[in-house]
Chains A and B, each alone.
Chain A
């Protein structure tokens, strides 16, 4: 199993450009999440998808859109990138059950907006 994979690993954009960050998981998890990590702020939830066909806003959704393409894939789109969106983006998926409840994280995408 590859776990959670993210593409690309690195990206540099100019202000106003758009791009889509891709995430896929092969663990048959229902829930998937997008976080951003900024120094001194931990990880903050951007959007999540509790199950296939549903998406909801997290703590910092402004400037982003998401698509839950199918059970495996959950993409994050920046329509018009801004320097404030320079960050490291992590995708995660969650396994849930009576004795376990944890998120598995991808390796991250490091995005710089000039």
Chain B
């Protein structure tokens, strides 16, 4: 069975500092990987995804993530955060060859950007 672990429940960081949100997954088959962002009282918005190809994936709002198959990780990074990046971030995985598209989510990481 697939599972996703987000290693930090909360990450406080100062504005303009770099940030990394960690995500590890377990799966015995190929996977697709996603990062979603949720702003307060809103739905989820896709930040970036890895389906195949280059292991470094760039997304919206200056975020990027690197797929590391040997470490089964998909950490999210941003070199310089803004106050507006304060939100909850979810890592998710789906079965690479399945047609159902079912997503397994991590527990979420709250990014708190301080001025």
- A residues near B (Cβ < 8 Å) are 4, 31, 33, 35, 40-45, 48, 50, 56, 58, 90, 92, 94, 96, 99-108
The size of the chain B interface, using a CB distance under 8 A, is 26
* Residue pair B44, A90 in contact (C-beta under 8 Å): yes
Q: How many A-B residue pairs have CB under 8 A?
A: 65
- Say whether, besides A48-B100, A50-B100, A56-B100, A42 and B108 are in contact (CB < 8 Å): yes
* Residue pair A45, B44 in contact (C-beta under 8 Å): no
Extra pairs beyond A45-B102, A102-B49, A106-B43 (8, CB < 8 Å): A41-B107, A43-B103, A90-B43, A94-B101, A96-B99, A101-B32, A102-B46, A104-B46
* Residue pair B46, A58 in contact (C-beta under 8 Å): no
Q: Which of B6, B43, B45, B102 has the most CB of A within 10 A?
A: B43
Nearest CB of chain B from residue A12's CB, rounded to whole Å:
17
A32, B77: Cα distance in complex, Å: 30
A42, B92: Cα distance in complex, Å: 10
CB neighbours (8 Å) of B67 from chain A are none
CB neighbours (8 Å) of A56 from chain B are 100
Contact with A along B7-19 (1 / 0, CB 8 A): 0010000000000
